Amino acid sequence: DGGITQSPKYLFRKEGQNVTLSCEQNLNHDAMYWYRQDPGQGLRLIYYSQIVNDFQKGDIAEGYSVSREKKESFPLTVTSAQKNPTAFYLCASEDRVNTEAFFGQGTRLTVV
């Protein structure tokens, strides 16, 4: 089945450690996105990529990094520079014509 997969579903890390969230899609989509969602809030764009080997900062990129070495994969690293990393992280992908974006089930990151 085609789809977009985020792993893990829950992640716990100690403060000061970098952590990488996985996002994989087998939909042959060109564009991929990372969002952060805090309780009771909407989605805020962290990074997005329209094509392999290219990506752009979203509204809240500070403290995060990404790579897009393969079309299928768009991992997000939450670095120790991110002041408040505990949040729900969502990954999405869509084709070049932007008809419909597909979302993963999210990763809930807790930093203690």
Point out which residues bind another protein (CB under 8 A): 33, 35, 41-45, 48, 50, 56, 58-59, 88, 90, 92, 94, 96-106
43 versus 80: smaller Cβ distance to another protein: 43
**Among candidate residues 65, 83, 61, 75, the one with its CA nearest the CA of residue 16:** 83
User: What distances in angstroms separate CA 56 from CA 10, 92, 93, 103, one per listed residue?
Assistant: 26, 15, 15, 19
Token pair 């992640």 is at which residue?
11
84 versus 98: smaller Cβ distance to another protein: 98
**Among candidate residues 21, 15, 104, the one with its CA nearest the CA of residue 64:** 21
33 versus 85: smaller Cβ distance to another protein: 33
36 versus 71: smaller Cβ distance to another protein: 36
Taking the complex as a whole, the smallest distance from the CB of residue 24 to another protein amounts, in Å, to: 14
Beta strand pairing call for 102-103 and 10-13: unpaired
Taking the complex as a whole, the smallest distance from the CB of residue 80 to another protein amounts, in Å, to: 27
